[in-house]
Structure 1
């Protein structure tokens, strides 16, 4: 994937390591980066935190955040991204949590994904509604969007 290569090149140019914190993608973002030979000079680690317990244990997401906002929220994505940055040697971390489908609810529909991006200067979040386009398509779109967020931040 050319975008993944571009992210790695941008990270190398800034001498920054990357970390990921993934829920709905189950490791697909870190896989896209590490599929590229030589990526170890720009990728530190990936956290696969599918369950709430993993989000708490590995990334320090607060129980209160999960109870108040749920796993699929910008608040949780922000804490996931910050936790990945704090628990790694990375200088940038991206986090994703969402409803890949099938299913969802009136309040949290299928295709909703919350993103967090952490840098030493702070954390930004956003929510993207990909729609009910199927589990595989939501996950693929999430990977592309996460890589785009990393690339933008690294080339800003």
Structure 2
């Protein structure tokens, strides 16, 4: 997805959030704040974007969005359990209607047989419905994996919660 397409998608998300009187927050690891960046590129985003947490380290995940030490030890940072906790913790800390979380292995190193480079877990929390998570495996270099993860997070937020 190009920068222009990300801007268009972010604008659409902002319009939907504003129409519903809702807010969103992010908790990002492998995307390093890219999701928050494209959302806040939209003029007027202060009306619906609450805040972004860049929780790159395990300590940051624990301190900023209340991920349990036991979850990190049992499942690893790139896992369904951790992204669920990231999304729920961010949503609660920000008192937002929606939260998006992401944790993955952008590469070029860091992958394993169980979690190859390109593995990205996403969490989606909402005040009024159960937290959801999904995993995708993207291809390409570090920049490509991170861009694809950003686009996927935004598309899923829009389609899962906002376009009803």
Question: Normalising by structure 2, what TM-score?
Answer: 0.93
| Number of residue equivalences | 155
**What is the CA-CA distance between 1:134 and the residue it aligns to?**
0.5
**Separation (CA, whole Å) in 2 of partners of 1:35 and 1:119:** 23
1:26-45 CA-partner distances (Å, limit 9, x unpaired): 00000000011111001000
Partner of 2:134: 126
2:147 aligned with 1:113: no
Question: Root-mean-square deviation (CA), in Å?
Answer: 0.7
For 2:59, which of 53, 57, 61 is the aligned residue? 53
Q: Secondary structure of the equivalent of 2:114?
A: coil
Partner of 1:82: 88
Gaps of 5+ in 1: none
**Separation (CA, whole Å) in 1 of partners of 2:16 and 2:150:** 17
**What is the CA-CA distance between 1:70 and the residue it aligns to?**
0.1
Partner of 1:17: 23
Question: Normalising by structure 1, what TM-score?
Answer: 0.97
**Separation (CA, whole Å) in 1 of partners of 2:47 and 2:84:** 25
Partner of 1:29: 35
**Separation (CA, whole Å) in 2 of partners of 1:11 and 1:151:** 9
Q: Secondary structure of the equivalent of 1:96?
A: strand
